[in-house]
Amino acid sequence: MQITISNSSKEPIYEQITSQIRSYILSGELQEGTALPSIRQLAKDLQISVITTKRAYEELEKAGFTYSIVGKGSFVAEQNLEVIREKKLKVIEEQLGAVITNSREIGLSLDELQQLMKILYEE
């Protein structure tokens, strides 16, 4: 598992860690039960604060992607990919609803919106 931190990103470091680990889990690169690096080890490897790493691990646990065992560390939790997919689809639908509302307000046609979506999707 390779985590890359960008100091120039507007996204906080803990969120960069969280999103990358989440991606590894959802893609299947990190399997259920796999141990994550210790909080201290990851902080050392990334040359960041232990507090930042701890926050990233807490966010992953809150979201159900990992679980912790005191004295043993953090591990990848069992994932129900279908449930995760449905949750993500619901979020996408809500966001697209807002996009459509905004598009109508400025008179953007469906064709123009589809072209914009295609351009952004292919980036």
CATH number of the structural domain spanning residue 69: 1.10.10.10
Residue 83 has pLDDT above 80, yes or no: no
41 and 92 fall within a common domain: no
Instruction: Give 39's contacts (C-beta < 8 A, 6+ positions apart).
Output: 50, 53, 54, 57, 74
Confidence (pTM)? 0.68
Rounded CA-CA distance 10/27 in Å is 25
The pLDDT mean for the chain works out to 91
Residue 81 has pLDDT above 80, yes or no: no
Confidence of residue 28 (pLDDT cuts 50, 70, 90): confident
1 within a domain of the structure (yes/no): no
60 and 85 fall within a common domain: no
Residue 26 has pLDDT above 90, yes or no: no
7 within a domain of the structure (yes/no): no
**Which domain range does residue 65 map to?**
13-76
User: Between 89 and 112, whose confidence is greater?
Assistant: 112
Long-range contacts of 82-90 (CB under 8 A, 24+ apart): 84/26
35 and 67 fall within a common domain: yes
102 and 65 fall within a common domain: no
98 within a domain of the structure (yes/no): yes
89 within a domain of the structure (yes/no): yes
24 within a domain of the structure (yes/no): yes
Q: What is the pLDDT of residue 27?
A: 81
Determine the average pLDDT of the residues in 32-36.
92
52 and 20 fall within a common domain: yes
Determine the average pLDDT of the residues in 28-53.
93
72 and 17 fall within a common domain: yes
Determine the average pLDDT of the residues in 40-51.
95
57 within a domain of the structure (yes/no): yes
3 within a domain of the structure (yes/no): no
Overall domain count for the chain: 2
